[in-house]
Amino acid sequence: NVNETGFPEPTPYAGNKRVFMAEHFYDVDHPQRRELHRNYIRKCLDNFADKGSVIHFISEEFTGPYHFVAFWLDEIIAWEKENNNQVLVALSCTKDVQDSILDNPRYAEVIDAIDIKYWYMDGNGKSFAPDGGLNLSPRQFERIMKPAPASWESVYDMVSEYRSAYPDKAVVYSASRYPELAWGAFMAGASICNLPAGLPEKFLQDATKMSPIGQNGIYMMSNPDLGYILYPSEKAEIDLRSLKSGEYKAQYLDVKTGEPVGKVFRIKAGEVFRHTKEYVLWLYR
């Protein structure tokens, strides 16, 4: 190898099929590979040092071990200190590694976003959460474990759990059925959701200042000074009895397109409005 990685040659195959190279690749005690990893991490940071909107992830399809994620974060911490520059960092890995990193105060402080991508709760309430460092990609784990798809409610619950546990961090949902279940992630407070393109700009602006409220089958975003977003469900309602005066403009939005449906109407303070239609209901001032 031109980089003198020290990898065994030829590549060791098991049964002429599977490759077990993860232990070698993630071995940060190996002097050549440690320096190659270190240089690559720092090169990525250098490349985007003046791009404040770039979010750094460790890799795509990453199922590596805890110690390598810790090594990656250690290099980021050192680089930030040396360059007096803070970067945005997303934690995207298997659930066991993700939770262990977040339980470590040194590393948790560096994390800006938690990406739920390589684990999830399926629609039957079962966990698909393979461990890290087992020489298998996410696709291989799925073929072996055969998890059921996630549901709207399971996505909402996953995001809500991590938003509640780590309120200072953004949560991104990128796992099973993430494009089509974006509303479930959004209503729980997730970031970078694949919402319909037709949503009004004011809706999106107001939503960034709202907090999720999910209870008894009601899925709602709320900021009484701005308004409410209510997702359709069997028990959907907005209780405005705590407000003594005023009113909100109300608009139905198509769940698939995001575009307004029908005319704007008004809902007054002091009443309970029961939402029985199949659209998203948006209240705004």
pLDDT digits (tens, 9 = 90+) for 145-175: 999 999 999 999 999 999 999 999 999 999 9
* Residue 220: HSE in the Cβ half-sphere, 13 Å Cα cutoff: 22
- With b for 16 or more beta-carbon neighbours within 10 A and e for fewer, the 97-110 pattern comes to bbbbbbeeeebbeb
Which pLDDT belongs to residue 135?
A: 84
| CB burial readout 210-233, b (16+ within 10 A) else e | bebebeeebbbbeeeebbbbbbbb
- CATH class of the region 197-285: mainly beta
pLDDT number for residue 215: 74
281 DSSP β-pair partners: 230, 252
pLDDT digit string, tens, across residues 68-98: 999 999 999 999 999 999 999 999 999 999 9
**pLDDT score for 238:** 84
Q: Which residue has the tokens 């059925």?
A: 177
pLDDT for the residue 59? 95
* Section 210-239 average pLDDT: 88
CA 237, 174, 68, 129 torsion: positive or negative? positive
Is 0.75 surpassed by the pTM of this model?
A: yes
- Torsion on CA atoms 147, 153, 159, 163, rounded to nearest 10: -150
Start-to-end Cα distance in the chain: 64
Largest alpha-carbon pair distance within the chain? 77
Residues 96-153 have pLDDT tens digits of 999 999 999 999 999 999 999 999 999 999 999 999 998 888 999 999 999 999 999 9
> What's at 40, amino acid-wise?
Y
pLDDT tens column, 226-283 = 999 999 988 888 888 877 678 999 999 999 999 999 999 999 888 889 888 899 999 9
Mean pLDDT of the chain: 93
Q: Domain-by-domain residue ranges, the chain? A: 11-194, 197-285
Looking at residue 271, its pLDDT comes to 86
